[in-house]
Amino acid sequence: MNLALLGFLMVATFMTLIMTKRMTPLVALIVIPTIFGVVAGQAAGLGDMMIDGIKNLAPTGVMLLFAILFFSTMTDTGLFDPLVGRLIRLVQGDPMRILLGTVVLCALVSLDGDGSTTYIITIAALLPLYKRYDMNRLYLCCLLMLTSGIMNLTPWGGPTARAASALKLDPATLFLPLIPGMIVGLASLMALAVWFGRKERTRMGSVQARDAVDFTGMAVSQYPEARRPKLIWFNGLLVVTLLTLLVWGLLPLSVLMMIAFAIAMIVNYPGVAEQKERIAAHAGNVLSVVSLIFAAGIFTGILGGTGMVEAMSKEVVGMIPPAMGPYMAPITAALSLPFTFFISNDAFYFGMLPILAEAGAHYGVEPMAIARASLMGQPVHLLSPLVPSTYLLVSLAGIDLADHQRFTLVPAIMVCVVMTLVGMIALAFPFVAG
């Protein structure tokens, strides 16, 4: 059977099952690719494909495991309490201010280039506000994810580095013309936050918080015994040091998270019983996220190992009529939305992008234009069930992945379209070659 057709059917079946909530993402990530791998006649090699996929995502799984434990521990100690308290005084019960602040805070924190760290820090600061004022958490996840998707286009972010590596381009040269699109993209998110804010104002007005809700931090109401107010300066320095080392890249992120977590435990909870209690308190959250990461490894391992990704890429490129060749840049931008959603960034940028660039070269379209166009779909990409940080976001916010996908898909597409149009206007890539 045609591998490309099987690949498209597999992705469509998977997305249908999880978005209609007929199957949980964890089960679907394991069962669906296994069935299609057998149908493809490659049952004998499925085990090796699964292991390869799991190995590729293992560092990410380890990083998320210890990142959740570390930042949850920092929240337990009360490190973010002063920040949350100040934010509450600034917003003065106005949901629109909270939503606008969500975009601004996420844009600043996202400068480190790591989505998981961004979500952990921003959720720790903002979720208490959304809980206190009984705001829709889908707004929170939507704004955080789309902001992160735009800011992830920095040269040290994953997509830009992949595109530059795949086509042997300079990341800085690739990035600079993207800045106008990023600025307008962030402006469109501020407008979206205003719209959400007006809806929340209409629904609840300037709400006075319920007395029963403790607003000084997520951990305070749950684990008051875990607070360590006397160690707040040490914990703050530990977080700053961790983020600094993360930006410098002195050690792998997973290793940095493990070391930071160990130091936090030793200093804040020196007793073995206390350490076990803190780990147990967040074990459920860790298990739900990490298990999905390794299940996603099975999906990507089979999708790539069977040759479905390569077949899908060639099939799509082959469908582009010669008359559309000079428009390969905007075509690439359009294709980046579904393909970075359905397949991993690695598969798209190292597998499909060179094919698109080669096709564009036949019509005089520069590789740099194709590379910039390929980055336009990143806000939609983060909605993919193959993105580990997305599971972390919805888990920390306490919402369902399918609900988040349905709610955020249209705004994500709109942001991608806005960035693409601005990129064209700014001549980041031309409408037509030559």
**What is the pTM for the complete model shown?**
0.71
Task: Give domain status of residue 112, yes or no.
Answer: yes
Is the pLDDT reported for residue 234 higher than 90? yes
Task: Give domain status of residue 153, yes or no.
Answer: yes
Rounded CA-CA distance 256/264 in Å is: 12
Confidence at 114, pLDDT banded by 50, 70, 90: low
Is the pLDDT reported for residue 264 higher than 80? yes
Rounded CA-CA distance 390/73 in Å is: 21
Give residue 156's pLDDT.
67
Task: Give domain status of residue 232, yes or no.
Answer: yes
pLDDT tens readout for residues 379-405: 999 998 878 788 889 888 888 888 999
Give residue 424's pLDDT.
79
Is the pLDDT reported for residue 285 higher than 80? no
Task: Give domain status of residue 214, yes or no.
Answer: no
State the average pLDDT over residues 151-165. 79
Q: Which domain holds residue 395?
A: 3-11+23-204+223-426
Task: Give domain status of residue 100, yes or no.
Answer: yes
Q: Which residue has the higher pLDDT, 166 or 26?
A: 26
Give residue 16's pLDDT.
82
Compute the Cα dihedral for 293, 296, 301, 307 and give only its sign: negative
For the ranges 6-20, 34-48, 407-421, the lowest mean pLDDT is seen at: 6-20
Count of domains forming the chain = 1
In angstroms, the Cα distances linking 326 to 11, 351, 421, 432 are 30, 21, 17, 5
Percent of all residues in the chain with a pLDDT value above 70, rounded to a whole number: 90
pLDDT tens readout for residues 83-109: 766 766 776 778 888 999 899 888 887
Give residue 144's pLDDT.
95
Q: Which residue has the higher pLDDT, 362 or 119?
A: 119
Give residue 434's pLDDT.
38
Is the pLDDT reported for residue 221 higher than 50? no
Task: Give domain status of residue 210, yes or no.
Answer: no
Q: Report the amino acid identity of residue 348.
A: F
Residue with tokens 């234009």: 369
Task: Give domain status of residue 432, yes or no.
Answer: no
Rounded CA-CA distance 342/352 in Å is: 13
Task: Give domain status of residue 16, yes or no.
Answer: no
Residue with tokens 């050690």: 251
Give residue 311's pLDDT.
83
Rounded CA-CA distance 79/82 in Å is: 7
